[in-house]
């Protein structure tokens, strides 16, 4: 299916990449730099992701298959009930403890977020509750949950590593000494994210009619706006980490 909506959203996802990303998959960052990165990730979208997803669910019309898919995603994110793990924000903090950070390092008042991080977070908070629901759903389940691997994952040429493989090859384990037992979040994502990616695309493509040009452009504009804010956010975090691009 090569609909314009699918292509435009994939083009957005292709650009969900940042020059500072390779630094995070290689050795060489200090503890302080890692902490800045992870504090931002946690407070910008990890901690509140389930609540943001609930906002999307709360504005959907009574289409049972859509509500069920979002409810399952939300249930997993807030409880880990599907993967039999735990709430994903808690699993994230467990990973941080594995790196030697404390939970208190992630308290709101211990972290001074870059202004660009605050504005990206504000966009997520507002847009998740704003109609049309298809735009909110695309923003949270495709843009925020998805990655630059989206196109390859849909085409089946990228297969997300799972289980022990995913944990053993993770840069935090390989380069930063995080014990494999602390990587429950990676295990949980390996177990469930593939299904969530498929649900996300199915919901958005099935419920944005090709003939509805206005709705199609609103969905695309919402994700493009988030992409621009996300790039400013990643630039801001890199600046706080003292990393310099070209």
DSSP annotation of 130 reads S
Distances (CA, A) of 231 to 8, 21, 151: 18, 12, 19
| Separation CA 7–CA 151 (nearest Å) | 9
Is 184 a binding residue for Fe ion by CB under 5 A? The answer is: no
C-alpha of 74 from chain center: 13
Is 88 a binding residue for Fe ion by CB under 5 A? The answer is: yes
Nearer residue to Fe ion within complex by CB, 88 or 114 = 88
Range list of H helices, the chain: 4-14, 21-24, 31-41, 49-58, 64-79, 88-98, 115-129, 133-137, 150-155, 163-168, 171-174, 184-206, 213-241
Stretch that binds Fe ion, among 51-59, 85-93, 156-164, 232-240 (CB under 5 A): 85-93
Least distance in Å: CB of 169 to Fe ion?
A: 19
Nearer residue to Fe ion within complex by CB, 91 or 208 = 91
| Separation CA 203–CA 134 (nearest Å) | 8
Residue closest to Fe ion when measured from CB atoms: 88
Stretch that binds Fe ion, among 26-34, 55-63, 88-96, 157-165 (CB under 5 A): 88-96
Least distance in Å: CB of 88 to Fe ion?
A: 4
Nearer residue to Fe ion within complex by CB, 88 or 121 = 88
Nearer residue to Fe ion within complex by CB, 40 or 88 = 88
Q: Kindly list the residues in this chain that would bind Fe ion in the complex (CB under 5 A).
A: 88
């Amino acid at each position: 299916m090569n609909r314009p909506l699918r292509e435009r959203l994939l083009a957005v996802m292709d650009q969900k990449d940042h020059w500072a990303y390779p630094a995070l998959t290689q050795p060489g960052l200090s503890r302080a730099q890692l902490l800045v990165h992870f504090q931002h990730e946690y407070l910008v979208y990890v901690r509140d992701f389930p609540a943001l997803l609930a906002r999307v669910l709360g504005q959907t019309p009574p289409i049972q298959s859509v509500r069920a898919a979002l409810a399952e995603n939300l249930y997993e994110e807030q409880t880990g009930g599907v993967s039999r793990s735990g709430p994903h924000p808690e699993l994230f903090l467990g990973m941080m403890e594995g790196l030697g950070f404390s939970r208190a390092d992630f308290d709101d008042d211990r972290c001074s977020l870059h202004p660009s991080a605050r504005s990206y977070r504000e966009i997520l908070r507002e847009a998740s509750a704003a109609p049309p629901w298809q735009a909110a759903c695309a923003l949270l389940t495709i843009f925020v949950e998805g990655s630059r691997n989206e196109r390859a994952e849909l085409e089946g040429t990228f297969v997300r590593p799972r289980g022990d493989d995913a944990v053993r090859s993770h840069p935090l384990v390989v380069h930063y000494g995080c014990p494999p037992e602390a990587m429950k979040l990676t295990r949980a994502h390996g177990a469930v994210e593939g299904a969530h990616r498929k649900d996300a695309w199915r919901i958005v493509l099935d419920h944005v009619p090709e003939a509805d040009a206005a709705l199609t452009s609103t969905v695309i504009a919402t994700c493009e706006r988030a992409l621009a804010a996300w790039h400013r956010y990643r630039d801001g975090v890199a600046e706080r980490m003292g990393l310099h691009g070209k």
